[in-house]
Structure formats: C-alpha cells, structure tokens
Structure 1
C-alpha cells in the first residue's frame, strides 16, 4: 500500500482541498478507496468560463447527478463561475437549494447568459441561517421575498446583479442582514434603484459604485462603526447624497464628479488614509489624523491639492496619479502656488510618490515647489513614460532645484 492511501480519510480530504475541485473529483478513478472521497469536500469550486460548450454541458450533467449525493454535513464554500455557460436556470437553482441544505457558509456565483435568464436563486437562500458570505455577479435576479432574514451574514458583494421592478427589493435585503460588516454594491448600467439607503450600526466596510447610466434618486448612508468607505459615482443624473458622520473611519476612497462632494468629505474627516478624485471640493475641512493622501490630478486639480494640503496638518505621504475615467484633461496646466506654505510641508510631509509625470510646466513647478518647501521630505519618487519626458532633462532640472530638506532623495523611474 502506498503511503498516501495509508492516511486517514480526514487527512486525505484536507489534502484534496489544496487542488482544484475538478482535480479532486478525478481522483475517484484511482481506486475503490478514492471513489467517493471527494464527496466529503467542504469546499466546492466549479468553473465553466474557459471550457468548451461540450465541457460546460458535462459540468451541468455532473452537478445534476452528483451534487444531491454530496456527503459533507457542512459546505463551507460553494463557488460557481458560469460565465457564457448557457446552463439551465432551473438546474442552477436546484444546486443552490442543495448547498443551502448542507449548512452553507459561503456562496459565490458569477453568471451570465444570452438571452437573459436571471432567476437562478431559490427562496430558501434568503432565509439561510448559516450563510456568512454572499457574493453575486452578473445576470442574477435578486427577487427578495418579504420573509427574508440572513441572521449570520457578514459579507455581501453584489456586482451588476438585477433587481425586479419593485425597487424595494434591495432595501429589503439590506434591512434583513442584522450583523452585516462588509457590503459592496456595484449597481448595474441602465438599471434603476430609486433611493439607496444604507443604515447599519455594525457595518465596518462599505463600497458603492454608481455607473453613469444608472437611474438613482439619492443615497443615504448611516454607518457609525465604519472603518473603510469607498464611493465611486460618475452618475449623469443629479442626485442627493446624505452621509452621517463616520467617527471611526480609517480609510476612504472618494471618486465623484457631482457637486455634493463637500457633504461626503465632511463626514470622513477622521480618516488616516484618503484617496480622492474630484474637482468639486472647494470648502476647507480639518483632517487632523490624515497621514496618507492620494489625489488624482487633472486640468483643475491644482486648487484641490492646495486646499487638501492646507487642511491636513499631519500629512506624511502624498501620492499623485492620473485622473482615470473622467471627461477632463489629465495634465495639470498651471500650478497655483499658495500664498502661505501649508503646515504639513513645514512639519510632517516625508514622502511624495508621483506616477504618470508628464513634465508640463505646471507639474514641473509643483515638483520644484515641494522640493523647495518640504522641510522633512525624505523621498520624492517620480515615475514617467520615456516618450513623454526625456529622462536626462527631467533629472537635471529637478536635481538642480533647491531643497528645504538636505536628506531628500530624488528617485526616477521611467516606463517604456
């Protein structure tokens, strides 16, 4: 008898967890001992994305036949990547029913079909007491029943899923997850939500993505325990955003084009790390705890940068990068030098990381200004494309600039 076959079933199952489910299933042909061993696996991961049409059909037949015979008392995770699968919605719904009956802890489904057949979720999923993680993406209809209740759900990620005409379906789902800690909602293009309300005392992480063609009336957020917040909103429709204060927030990522940016920023002033991409911020707030600032630059970003530097007296790390997916010029035309040097440059700023440096007069003036005024600067790292900025000229011009910090090192990195 070989050494592996001499191991206990429990240990063999743990070994099988380290290989893809498809490989684990293939061990059933090794011997009688291995024939049904994979059926005790607590983690199942099935993918048909890169398979041929015949292989996808075989996957469906395999699950129809074998999943009802699965022997694990608890299925810790059940993952289905069914992009371009054309599998029958009725079959997928039955697989989820079976998984839920095994005290399912985590469910992840990625699904699309043509023509669209989105109703693949059974009603018993919405009352699964054991479910802790739910991740759904694609042509999946969330027709949430009124009796929905997920008492153990802590993580929910919804990416481009579909909702019925009843706009209360999403709100009903959110309001019936009492211990939710991590929520991601990526709304679908050309769909409608009405008012999006996120009110969770327990929520620790919130990410919202509002596409430009989504029909939304407004956003209301009340999450007093939140530690991470991300809002990406390029929506073309003017809508309100009411955000309650987030006193425990540590990190925020704000990328919006609408004029309500002040109400959003005003609620996140406790952050230590902030990434911001907006041209509408025009009111000073006090960021006493902000240590790391990442800002995208564009035609009008000079004013935004000055305001944020003035508002962040303890800033240690400053990152500058290009403005992605905005309908504006990505270059800083002019550097509007402030009348007084921001306090953070005199007391705390130590690192500047500048990516996509193009060497325009405005960018050059800003780099020279920081070198001249940042008393405690240790590193200025500049990354540029060789075709945009001749490396030698850039190094020479900045290297010869006067520096407030004798310890400052200039680091240049060129991309080809």
Structure 2
C-alpha cells in the first residue's frame, strides 16, 4: 500500500515539475471551469489557470441569481490578472440573463490585455445589444473578430484611424442567416491586406465604403435588392459586383468602375432585375464600363449620373472615351424612362453630343433632368431644342 502511494506521489511530482508553459498548454485543452478547479491541487497549481492565453467562457442557462453571479464572478476572476497578461483568444457565449453591462467591462479588460482573437455569441432571445467599436480603436493587436447573434437583422461596422495609429486586423467576417441590412465603412484605415468575408444568404441591403480591403468573399445573397458599392482597391470591386445579380437598385462609384475596367470582360455578370442605377464617372475608363453595364441591364428604367457626365476640364477625355456603340443598348432603347444628371456645372460641346445621343436613342424616355448650375442661356436653348425619340419626354433644368 505504501509502495503504491509513493509511486503515485512520484508521478504527481513529475507532472507538477513540468515547465509553466507546458502545464498551461495542457490546461488550455480543457474547459475553463475545469481548469479553474485545478487550483485546489496544490500551491504549484493555484494560479496557473489564470495564465491561460485562451479563455473559452460559456454561460449556462441560469435559473437563479446565485448561478448568474457565479458565472459573472468566474469571468471577473479570469480577467483579474496582474500586469494585464496578454490574451491570445477570448471566446464568450452569453445566455439570456447575462449582465450586458458586465460584458462591456470584460471587453475593455481584454482590449487592455492585447487580445488577438475575439469571438462573441449572443442568444436568440436577446434582441438588442450595443457593441461600441470605440472599445477596439486603441487595440493594435486584434487580428480577428467574430460576432454572432442568431436574430441579428441590421449591422453597421465602422473602423477608423485614431491618433495616427493603425490596427492589425487582417480578417473581418460576418456569418448570419438572419441579417438583412449590412453597412460597412472602412474609409479611414490603412491596411492593404484586410480580408472581408460575408456569409449572409438573406441579406436585402448592402452598403460598402471601403478604401483598405484587398479581398472580399461574399456568399451570393438571393434576396439582395439594393446595393451601394464604393471600394478603392482593384480586386474587391469585381469580387463584390459579381455577387449582386439579384439587386433592383445599384450604385457604383468611380473607384469601383476603375476596378471593373480591368476585369469587366470576365467579372461583370448580367443584372436582369436592376431598374435603378446610380453611377459616378470620373475617368475615361468609366465610360467604357458603362456601355458594358448597360448591355448587362436589360430592364433598366432609371439612370442617375451622380457627379455629372464628366468634369468640364476633361471634356477632351470624354470625347476620346465616349464612342457611340453600333447598336443602342436594349435598356436605353426600350426601357429607359428617366435620366438624371446631377452636379453638372455646364454643358461642353462633347457633353452636348452625349445628351443628343441619349435623347435620340431612348424611345420610352419620360424625363431628362439636369441641375447644370452655370449653363448659359444659349446652350440651354440648344439642349431644349434637341430631337427626342420619345415624344412625351420632358427636359428639365433644376
């Protein structure tokens, strides 16, 4: 009996004598509550669980206030580390009765601990939780975040440059079957390697303002009806646009058009449902892409040039880049009802010819509206006197 006890003690001592790093790695393989219980084994084990770089916290369904407070205290103890020991990964699953004020405090703590990966999950019966991204603006170590809520319908994410500091996030991922509205604003950050992945099959509305991401992965949402895309780099434009075939309303800015101009022969799909199209053109390549897009939108009824036809100082570039096609796009000839030209300073001779082409080609056009602010009386009269293929077309200056 004594011999058996001695052998057990020797084995226990051998384990306890292992290096801290190895013991912590062992503890990281078991649930946190079990790891926490090892503190009663001996003085050697008392504080090891608190050094875990990976915190995996799952709140069970709690019937009593005592059970709720027990979980809250467990998280407090796990994060009450001297010297803000770095946290590699923080996973938190909250049940219905979790104190969401405490959650905000925990997030502030993990940011102070230089968290690298963050994953939050909320229950289906929790309808609202405000996650303030300001918490993470000063976190230069976060490389991956994952927020999951089974009833989430609307999400707005904005990242900004703060005090000249850049963040190190390399992946932003959205996974939701309930999400209907998604707005992304990554306009003031600089990180050419950010990857964005969106899996939201029931998405209905998408707005992207992104000057930093180099790659987009978008699961094609069949319910998507409206999309507004403004991206800076070359690849995200085609990667997003090719997944928008179900939309009825589409906006593309000039940067997105420039990215499409590099790949439009392969990447631009058909948009059979688009009836309203808003386009911003600031480069000659935009006009070439426009012709391709018009031939991909057979049911287009309303087109808006959000920044006029082209800056007046580049009228020659317009003349060089706009070549009327041999065949009028079907949507312009048979479907187009309204053309709006916004922010047009005046009308140059080259732009006048483009207006003539549109009026002469659109058989069903009902109105052409311009807000040319400095157009002279003579040019105004020339535009008003242009031939219109549609006898019911009205020309308006506003």
Q: Tell me the TM-score normalized by structure 2.
A: 0.61
Give the 3-state SS of the residue equivalent to 1:281 in structure 2: helix
Q: Deviations over 1:226-256 (max 9, x none)?
A: 0001111122xx6211111111100000011
1:227 to 198, 204, 217: 204
Tell me if structure 2 keeps the 8 A contact 1:161–1:188: no
The separation in 2 between residues aligned to 1:361 and 1:155, in whole angstroms, is 56
The separation in 1 between residues aligned to 2:109 and 2:372, in whole angstroms, is 45
Give the 3-state SS of the residue equivalent to 1:192 in structure 2: coil
Tell me if structure 1 keeps the 8 A contact 2:141–2:169: no
Residue 304 of structure 1: CA displacement? 2.4
2:176 maps to 200
The separation in 1 between residues aligned to 2:294 and 2:223, in whole angstroms, is 22
CA distance 1:128–1:384, change in 2 (3 Å): farther
1:247 and 2:222 correspond: yes
Single out whichever of 334-343 and 349-358 deviates more from structure 2: 334-343
Cα RMSD of the aligned pairs, angstroms, is: 3.2
Q: Which has the higher strand share?
A: 1
The separation in 2 between residues aligned to 1:378 and 1:197, in whole angstroms, is 44
2:287 maps to 302
Alignment of 1:22-171 (within 5 A): 127=94, 129=96, 143=110, 148-151=120-123, 152-153=126-127, 162-163=136-137, 164-167=139-142, 170-171=145-146
1:290 and 2:274 correspond: yes
Q: Deviations over 1:324-356 (max 9, x none)?
A: xxxxx8877332322210110122110011111
1:356 to 343, 346, 371: 343
Q: Which has the larger radius of gyration?
A: 2
Residue 312 of structure 1: CA displacement? 0.5
Tell me if structure 1 keeps the 8 A contact 2:174–2:197: yes
1:337 and 2:324 correspond: yes
- Unpaired segments ≥5 residues, structure 1: 1-100, 102-122, 135-139, 324-328
1:401 to 370, 373, 386: 386
Tell me if structure 1 keeps the 8 A contact 2:170–2:194: yes
Single out whichever of 271-280 and 203-212 deviates more from structure 2: 203-212
The separation in 2 between residues aligned to 1:247 and 1:142, in whole angstroms, is 40
Residue 130 of structure 1: CA displacement? 7.8
CA distance 1:264–1:167, change in 2 (3 Å): same
Tell me if structure 1 keeps the 8 A contact 2:154–2:182: yes
1:267 maps to 243
Tell me if structure 1 keeps the 8 A contact 2:144–2:172: no
Q: Which has the higher helix share?
A: 2
Q: Deviations over 1:140-165 (max 9, x none)?
A: 95947978443224686766652534
Tell me if structure 2 keeps the 8 A contact 1:158–1:186: no
1:257 maps to 232
1:314 and 2:299 correspond: yes
Give the 3-state SS of the residue equivalent to 2:370 in structure 1: strand
CA distance 1:198–1:401, change in 2 (3 Å): same
2:73 maps to none
